[in-house]
Amino acid sequence: MSNNKIKNIENSLLSDNYYILKKYNFDYLMPNGQWVNQMREVYDRGDGAGILLYNTTKKTVILIRQFRVPTYLNDNKDGMLVEICAGLLDKDNPEECIIRETEEETGYRVTSVKKVYEGYSSPGVMTEKMHFFIGEYTDDMKVSEGGGLDSEAEDIEVMEIPFKKAVNMLHNGEIVDTRTIVLLQYAIIHKLID
Ligand SMILES: Nc1nc2c(ncn2[C@@H]2O[C@H](COP(=O)(O)OP(=O)(O)O[C@H]3O[C@H](CO)[C@@H](O)[C@H](O)[C@@H]3O)[C@@H](O)[C@H]2O)c(=O)[nH]1
Ligand SMILES: [Mg+2]
């Protein structure tokens, strides 16, 4: 961290109920040479990783469907969201995280994944950096039902669907999760499945 346009950074804790929400106060040097005081709330849940699982023979992808309360509160009728498999980094590195998360959520034990992007999820408010992966799966990699951890009360539906259908869902507005849009567009651009 280094930027000579910012000084006097102070923070106070607003909530550590589950993750960390802090209020930051700092002085910022505007282009006109004036220092202005700014306040921003910043939510820190660590970083995350997500993966698009695809099968070039079957021409399918694996997505998941789960209830997301923030979307329920904002325009997503039943709150169910179609997403890539994803999770929060748990002190492990992004690659180990996504391999573990893939098995927990989808039941596929993948061995080889490829990192394609890194990006900030919501840079005005969250510290989170997201690590984006793609990975090929085959039927023989299926070792369990998936569906998430009972201990976390996750209710995850695993969807294996034709890539073409996923692309239709992208274009007709059924897929409204940004991380999923990013990786489906990656798959289209790089012709992962034709
Ligand atoms: N009790 C409680 N549990 C929580 C809270 N917030 C999250 N959890 C639980 O913590 C677990 C997190 O599951 P992961 O699979 O590791 O994370 P994720 O929510 O799928 O995260 C992915 O999607 C996020 C988008 O909303 C991304 O932000 C994240 O990077 C990642 O891609 C879930 O069981 C969730 O219910 C909370 O405030 N209270
Ligand atoms: Mg998850």
3-state SS of the chain: helix, strand, coil percent to 5?
25, 40, 35
Strand order in the sheet with 6-15: 6-15, 20-29, 35-44
Question: Above 90 in pLDDT, residue 132?
Answer: yes
Q: Which atom of ligand 1 is nearest to the CA of 45?
A: 28
Residue closest by Cα to atom 9 of ligand 1: 152
Report the alpha-carbon distance of residue 86 to residue 95 in Å, rounded: 11
Handedness of CA 58, 168, 85, 135 (dihedral sign): positive
Q: Rounded mean pLDDT of 64-81?
A: 97
**pTM reported for the whole predicted model:** 0.96
Contact 17, 33 (CB under 8 A): no
**What is the three-class DSSP state of 171?**
helix
Distance 87 CA to ligand 2 centre (A): 4
What does pLDDT average to over the chain?
Answer: 96
Contact 110, 141 (CB under 8 A): yes
- Ligand at minimal distance from the CA of 50 is 1
Task: Label residue 56 by pLDDT band (50, 70, 90).
Answer: very high
Percentage of residues of the chain with pLDDT beyond 70: 100
Task: Encode pLDDT of 140-151 as tens digits.
Answer: 999 999 988 777
For β-strands 129-136 and 48-55, DSSP reports them as parallel
Structure tokens at 101: 């998360």
DSSP character at residue 148: -
- Per the CATH hierarchy, to which homologous superfamily does domain 48-189 belong? Nucleoside Triphosphate Pyrophosphohydrolase (3.90.79.10)
**ipTM higher than 0.90?**
yes
CA 36 to chain centre: 34
Q: Rounded mean pLDDT of 86-114?
A: 95
Where residue 154 falls (left for φ over 0; alpha for ψ -120 to 50; beta otherwise) is beta
- Which of 3-17, 71-85, 139-153 comes out lowest in average pLDDT? 139-153
What is the per-residue pLDDT for 150? 73
Q: Where are the domains of the chain?
A: 6-44, 48-189
What is the per-residue pLDDT for 148? 84
Distance 32 CA to ligand 1 centre (A): 42
Contact 183, 175 (CB under 8 A): no
